Chain A
Amino acid sequence: MKSIKELEEIRKRTLDTINIRKERTGTRVVVGMATCGIAAGARPVLLTVMDEVKKNNLSDVAVTQTGCIGMCRLEPIVEVYRPNEEKVTYVKVTPSKALRIVNEHIMQGKVVDEYTIGSED
């Protein structure tokens, strides 16, 4: 059974990393989580982004959600904001597409063009 004691250990461990954490570079990943997004599969996309960000120790990346972006047909939608760059909007995102977005765009700065709005089939 997951114990409260375990939570206390995680707390201590996390506290150390928070204290040594460098300031956020300001990259934000925003997942559309309105009715249309959720119905289209936004929850696994959000959690995949969260897991991948954690796995790669990208502690300077913020993962958040937003409501309806107004393009229900193209959900799940993920927006990536990087400092000094224009916002990139990815559409019809799946967990496997989300992995590439984190690995290529967020980690290496290479936009995954084929998933961006306007390139979808």
Chain B
Amino acid sequence: MKELSLHILDLVQNSISAGATLTEIVIKEDLAADWLTIEINDNGHGMDKELLAKVKDPFVTSRTSRKVGLGIPLMLAACQRCDGDLTISSEVNVGTNLTAVFKHSHIDRVPIGSMAETLISLILCSTYTDFLYKHIIINKKSSLSEFCFDTREVKKLLGSEVPLTEPDILNWIKDYIAEGLSNLGGGI
């Protein structure tokens, strides 16, 4: 994929399919230690040990077994190209945690891309899932700044009559996130 935000869009679809009511996306750019970490935590139905053991491998799919897709193997390959790794832990009926690590300055690391577009795409298509998006930057002097966006807060302000999926609301969210990230000076 051309952007990490596209991997995120794809992987969060797994959380939505797993029936998550809350999915947390945390991007941490640690410029001091030169790591970029993406975490996706959901409270969906989770995976059993057997499935968990094989989701990273695109070749385990056999005609008779359940089809295992490409989203996770693609993210794993992207991490490994950048001296990083992907770890997944999951518990049935509790949820799943996925952590992807990249060397921030690695030449093969694709840009984070538009998290604003990824979030409104997710919102547009999943009325029942809430999203909490945190973007943390630790600069070279080790000082930390953070941007946070929470659909639950927007919903509270809007009340029950106006859904998040109204185009004007989505546009506001898109601009709000894009502006918040550019004030943070990160998201690259």
The proximity string for B residues 58-80 relative to A, scoring 1 for CB distances below 8 Å and 0 otherwise, is 00000000000111001000000
The proximity string for B residues 87-98 relative to A, scoring 1 for CB distances below 8 Å and 0 otherwise, is 000000000000
Q: How far is the CB of A99 from chain B (nearest CB, A)?
A: 16
Which residues of A from 1 to 34 have beta carbons under 8 Å from B? 1-2, 4, 6-8, 10-11, 13-15, 18, 33-34
Q: How large is the interface on A (under 10, 10 to 19, 20 to 34, 35 or more residues)?
A: 20 to 34
The one of B70, B71, B120, B157 in contact with A7, judged by C-beta atoms closer than 8 angstroms, is: B157
Consensus secondary structure, chain B interface: helix
Q: How far is the CB of A1 from chain B (nearest CB, A)?
A: 6
Question: Is residue A69 contacting chain B, with contact meaning CB distance below 8 A?
Answer: no
Contacts of A1 in B (CB 8 A): 179, 183
Question: Is residue B158 contacting chain A, with contact meaning CB distance below 8 A?
Answer: yes
The one of A10, A11, A47, A64 in contact with B120, judged by C-beta atoms closer than 8 angstroms, is: A47
The one of A6, A15, A46, A67 in contact with B124, judged by C-beta atoms closer than 8 angstroms, is: A46
The proximity string for B residues 171-182 relative to A, scoring 1 for CB distances below 8 Å and 0 otherwise, is 110011001000
Query: Contact: A33 with B13, CB < 8 Å?
Result: yes
Query: Contact: A47 with B117, CB < 8 Å?
Result: yes
Question: Is residue A102 contacting chain B, with contact meaning CB distance below 8 A?
Answer: no
In the assembly, what is the distance between CA of A10 and CA of B168, in Å? 7
Query: Contact: B124 with A50, CB < 8 Å?
Result: yes
Known: A43-B121, A67-B13. A35 touches B69 (CB 8 A): yes
Contacts of B142 in A (CB 8 A): none
Query: Contact: A36 with B117, CB < 8 Å?
Result: no
In the assembly, what is the distance between CA of A45 and CA of B161, in Å? 28
Question: Is residue A54 contacting chain B, with contact meaning CB distance below 8 A?
Answer: yes
Contacts of B6 in A (CB 8 A): 38-39, 43
Q: Which has the most chain A C-beta neighbours within 10 Å: B10, B157, B170? A: B10
The number of chain B residues with a CB under 8 A from chain A is 33
Contacts of A74 in B (CB 8 A): none
Query: Contact: A38 with B172, CB < 8 Å?
Result: no
Q: How far is the CB of B101 from chain A (nearest CB, A)?
A: 21
Contacts of A50 in B (CB 8 A): 124, 167, 170
Query: Contact: A38 with B10, CB < 8 Å?
Result: yes
Q: How far is the CB of B98 from chain A (nearest CB, A)?
A: 15
In the assembly, what is the distance between CA of A6 and CA of B102, in Å? 37
- Give me 7 A-to-B residue pairs in the complex whose CB atoms sit less than 8 angstroms apart, sorted by A's number: A34-B10, A38-B1, A38-B10, A51-B167, A64-B125, A65-B121, A68-B69
Residues of B within 8 A of A (CB): 1, 6, 9-10, 13, 17, 69-71, 74, 117-118, 120-121, 124-125, 154, 157-159, 161-162, 166-172, 175-176, 179, 183
Beyond the given pairs A11-B169, A39-B10, 18 more chain A to chain B contacts, judged by CB atoms under 8 angstroms and listed by A's residue number, are: A1-B183, A2-B176, A2-B179, A7-B154, A7-B172, A10-B172, A11-B158, A11-B162, A36-B70, A39-B74, A43-B6, A43-B117, A44-B117, A46-B125, A47-B117, A53-B167, A67-B13, A68-B69
